[in-house]
Amino acid sequence: MTAVMDSATPAVPDARLLIAPGCAHCPIVLDGLSALVKDGRIGRLEVVNIAAHPEAAQAAGTRTVPWFTIGPFTLTGAHSPSELAEWAERARDGSGLTAYFSHLLESNRLEDVIGMLKRGEGNLEELVPLLEGLDTPMAVRIGVGAVIEEFADTDELAAAVDSLAALVDSEEPQVRADACHYLGLSRSPAAIPFLEVCREDDDEEVREIAAESLALIPR
């Protein structure tokens, strides 16, 4: 009997891997992706040796290997089999953009995140969970701030006001302060009620940033 995939079943992602001779991590990633193909968690794997096809690396805009894609995600460097499986699952179910943005920012790929958002490949709301806790790596928190500043006074940031506003209920004063700053950058009147609440915050810094942010929003 032939199995028929239900139309509601998420599509299995394909993968593409660039490798090169002498690359220590390439065999590990190749084995990991190959195992996912065998398990049915990746539909197809294309492997390109850039020593034979340097144009592939040029087209990908990379000078390092392993470089690979799993569905919409572009990744580089060493990844364990379990990490590869997680990315395959995220690609399959359509989740994982928050994790992907975190990965890019921690890898100093700020412009990639900004480019994706400007192309409509995700939205600013998917960055907000990275601001919820102080356990987020500092490089990621700084990166999120840089992205939000890039979108200051735009419709995209205004659309994220409700998500950012949820952060003003955090137990962490730093999280509340950051939320106030980003709400101010939105220049959106929708942010005003939340900032007014923060003007009465127990923390002095939060109160100051809330007042400064309110001054940025046209009345």
What is the structure's pLDDT at 59? 96
Residue 172's SS3 state is: coil
Chain mean position to CA 184: 23
Please tell me the predicted confidence (pLDDT) of residue 104.
Answer: 95
96-219 is classed CATH 1.25.10.10: yes
| In the chain, domain spans | 1-93, 96-219
CATH superfamily of 1-93: Glutaredoxin (3.40.30.10)
Residues of the chain below pLDDT 70: 1-10
* Token output for 217: 């929003």
Contacts 24+ apart (CB under 8 A), 160-163: 160/123, 160/124, 160/125, 160/128, 160/186, 161/186, 161/188, 161/190, 161/191, 161/194, 162/190, 163/124, 163/125, 163/128
Per-residue pLDDT reduced to its tens digit, 175-206: 999 999 999 999 999 999 999 999 999 999 99
Q: What local confidence, expressed as pLDDT, does residue 4 receive?
A: 39
Terminal CA-CA length for the chain: 67
In the prediction, which pLDDT does 6 show?
42
CA distance 175 to 170: 6
Check residue 94 and give its pLDDT: 79
Do 1-93 and 96-219 agree at the fold level?
no
Coil, helix or strand at residue 200: coil
pLDDT for residue 10: 59
